[in-house]
Amino acid sequence: MASLSDRGGTGGFLSLLLWLQLLGPLLSEASGGVARPRHPGEHGWQSGAGGQVGVGKQPRLTPSAVFFFRWGLQSPGRVLSVPSFPNHPVCGRRSMRIYGGTKAPQRKWPWQVSLQSYNTHVCGGSLITNQLVLTAAHCVVGRDYKVMLGNNELFQFDENEVVVPVKDIVPHQYYDVRQVTNDIAIALLDFPVNYSSYIQPICLPERPFTVKAETLCWVTGWGRMEGNVRPRFLREAEQKILSQKKCNQKYQRYFRTPFNLVREGMICGYHDVRRSPCWGDSGGPLACEVNNTWIQMGVVSWGYFCGVLPSVYTDVIQYKKWIHDILNQASHIYSMGVSMLLICLMLPEAILVTV
């Protein structure tokens, strides 16, 4: 017999392989391996306040009353495994001081990403850590995704561009395509990206607060322009925050309904000359500048045609706890897997033997 410390033989190597094979299922689960879809309530997440918004006795939107900025199907939530979820200390900064929107200068929105599938732009998204992207749940319709960062031009390679496969995407477990509620998802990149002047994370709101009406924010994306034209370059458009009450009044008058179509967990934005998100902008960020720092207040979700009525965004503030809960639980699983591996590698040499 040869021990693991027998460097001259193959026993030690085979013993290590044996232990790694035994640990394989645990480590694959902890590192974001393939997981079966889970139904709401099955996963055991305790989201608490802000974890589930707008589900219950709410009027449902008919297909004729609403469109999504990216047509999609409902997808059940799944467990996401990531090491950690820190707010980057320099998030929301950039190195320089949509529909009907204008072309965005390079490096102006370094957190903007293009979520792509089979070499086609599907949705927008925003980088919130070096390995996590925030997007909309209705964007999640398949499994083969990648994200492009560091380039404002689609499908035109740039030396600052980084393309990363998506390892896993988790839509909110209570996303409801009929009520258009909980329209938020998190994507885990296959590997962390390096920050540069072209790639930076955007900040998330640290504490609950309400964005005042008429606050000026910006929405960005590669959505359709006037005439149904698909842009090559990233577009930007100003958006003024509209109170939920006034936003509902506009939709109620337009559709002649007494129901509130804009619900808890949603915020509205508008532009005086009908500049707004459109098809292909879904999942992109609604960013507001606060004390020289850009904070993501919304995720592009839905609206009625392009610019006809105010655009509706998922209210990120309402889902901050949901984001933290998922990632903290995933971090715990990841830590357990790594700890087990370290313990096994540190076992007495006499235990790891082979014939």
Q: pLDDT (tens digit, 9 = 90+) per residue, 233-276?
A: 899 989 999 999 999 999 999 999 999 999 999 999 988 766 65
Structure tokens at 38: 């889970």
Per-residue pLDDT, averaged over 298-306, amounts to 89
In this structure, are residues 220 and 102 in contact, taking their beta carbons and an 8 Å threshold? no
Decide if 28 is catalytic. Answer: no
pLDDT value of residue 258:
95
**Of these residues, 15, 126, 138, 315, which one is catalytic?**
138
* Mean pLDDT confidence for 140-161: 88
Give the model's pLDDT for residue 103.
Answer: 54
The stretch 49-58 carries a mean pLDDT of: 44
Q: Is 114 a residue of the active site?
A: no
pLDDT value at 182 more than 90: yes
The whole-angstrom separation of Cα 283 and Cα 222 is 11
Distance in angstroms between the alpha carbons of the first and the last residue of the chain: 5
Evaluate if residue 310 carries a pLDDT over 60.
Answer: yes
- Under the banding of pLDDT at 50, 70 and 90, the label for residue 132 is very high
Select the highest-mean-pLDDT range: 93-97, 122-126, 273-277. 122-126
Most confident of 36-45, 59-68, 294-303, 337-346: 294-303
Q: For residue 230, what pLDDT band results from cuts at 50, 70 and 90?
A: confident
All domains of the chain, ordered by start, with CATH? 56-76+88-334 (2.40.10.10)
Among 81, 126, 276, 282, the active-site one is 282
pLDDT score recorded for residue 37? 30
Task: State the alpha helices, DSSP H only, in 189-319.
Answer: 244-255
Given a cut of 60, whether residue 20 has pLDDT beyond it is no
| CA gap 133, 129 in Å, rounded | 7
| 29 pLDDT higher than 50 | no
Average pLDDT over residues 56-85: 37
* Token duo for residue 261: 């179509």
Mean pLDDT for the stretch of residues 308-329: 87
- Distance, in Å, from the CA atom of 294 to the CA atom of 175, rounded to the nearest integer, reads 27
The phi, psi pair for 350, rounded to 5°, reads -65, -25
Contacts for 317 with CB less than 8 Å, ≥ 6 apart: 205, 208, 209, 297
Active site annotation includes 43: no
DSSP bridge pairs for 206: none
Catalytic residue among 81, 121, 183, 301: 183
pLDDT band for 62, please (50, 70, 90 cuts): very low
Alpha-carbon span 127 to 338, nearest angstrom: 26
Measured between alpha carbons, how far is 315 from 353 in angstroms, rounded to an integer? 56
